[in-house]
Amino acid sequence: MFKRLKPHRPLRQTLNNHSQTKQINTTTSQIQKSKWTNFRTIFTKWVPLGSVIYVGWCYIRASINYEVSQVEIKFYEMFPFRITSRLWGKIAATEIPVALRSFVYGTYVRMFNVDISEAAVTDLTYYKSLSAFFTRSLREGARVLAPASCVSPCDGVVLNCGPAKSDRIEQVKGVTYSLEEFLGENKWSQNKGKNYYDSLLKDKSNILHQCIIYLAPGDYHRFHSPCDWTSTFRRHFSGKLLSVNPWMANLIPGLFTMNERAVYVGDWEYGFFSMTAVGATNVGSIEIYKDPELKTNTKGNRKRVDEYDMGKVAFKKGELFGQFNMGSTIILLFEAPANFQLNLKAGDKVLMGQALTLMSKEKSR
């Protein structure tokens, strides 16, 4: 007749259990939130993702002639493209399963109009990674060296080409960059001049000429020596990794003085000669075959500058010089007589080995 009574649990203990459960739930929720809001995650997940989305949006707007404001340009320059580019470099170097290679590389070929018939190996399954595919070599005879003193060092599109008569040089028509900021202090020459421009010239009757060539993602990614010359000095600027496509070059003055670049200076038949490989967004690295000490897109202060006395390293016209792990830009700055005419204009498509001068083209016919 008497019901069995359950042991009595104090109210305080029950309340404590409820309080502890609520506390655990709150802590778990805070931990989950902190995973997506902490300082490290912002820079490793949200910022790179936002950078990619923003750059994509810029390309879309460019196609409809949208006018970009200076505020947007400054905001764009603040994006951590060095981080995203290092990440892309790791992805590009990852080995792809053989079964997926034809699909992955085939999609890239169609997207960027790659002429795979020019490659030394046309079998897409041969390339272990995207980096290996980007830096593929050409088959013998795919490019012919013109009988000119100076030829195109790479495949690409000309951004600017012609005489450079002052310390301010055009990167594209109407948009300039500083010669001294681009090359850095003149430590390789004892020449005296009233300004930086004159200090580069060995023969004061000569002038400087330049040729800027942009390598698109679908272009042949290796670059060659454009002439017979000797390099004596290399300067590596860490810099930023902004996009260097023609649209950006037209928007941002001094773009080439801001980006990471490896500057090689020396002499050729007319005097001063320089060849510069400029880094860009998603360029995993710049490799120079005769300079294994060069390490690009590394962690650290992006304003650092490394210098290297190369002694005398000779390059022959057409010799392999280096490679990009994605599209970028090659800039030639060299001394020559005032009547040395570069017969190219902005927008011209060039191939490695193509003559740069009008006189050489006429002689080769």
Of the ranges 45-49, 165-169, 222-226, the best mean pLDDT one: 222-226
Structure tokens that stand for 210 in this block? 């330049």
170 class by beta-carbon count within 10 Å (0-12 exposed, 13-18 middle, 19+ buried): middle
Residue 297 amino acid letter: N
Residue 133 to residue 101: CA distance in whole angstroms: 10
DSSP 20-61: HHHHHHHHHHHHHHHHHHSHHHIIIIIHHHHHHHHHHHHHHH
How far is Cα of residue 71 from the mean position of the Cα atoms in its chain? 23
pLDDT at 273 > cutoff 80: yes
Q: Is the dihedral of CA 170, 176, 179, 183 positive or negative?
A: negative
Exposure string (b/e) for 142-160, b if CB count within 10 Å is 16 or more?
Answer: bbeebebbbbbbbbbbbbb
Kindly list the catalytic residues.
Answer: 155, 224, 328
Residue 132 to residue 126: CA distance in whole angstroms: 9
pLDDT at 20 > cutoff 70: no
Distances (CA, A) of 251 to 93, 173, 175: 32, 11, 8
1 versus 271: the higher-pLDDT residue is: 271
Mean pLDDT of 46-75: 62
Distances (CA, A) of 266 to 5, 179, 227, 292, 351: 99, 16, 12, 18, 24
Residue 252 pLDDT level (bands cut at 50, 70, 90): confident
pLDDT per position as a tens digit, 298-354: 877 777 899 999 999 999 999 999 998 777 899 999 999 988 888 888 889 999 999
Residues 6+ apart with CB under 8 A from 137: 119, 120, 222
281 versus 182: the higher-pLDDT residue is: 182
Apex 49 CA angle, 43 and 55, nearest 5: 115
Of the ranges 16-20, 163-167, 274-278, the best mean pLDDT one: 274-278
Weakest mean pLDDT among 59-73, 195-209, 301-315: 59-73
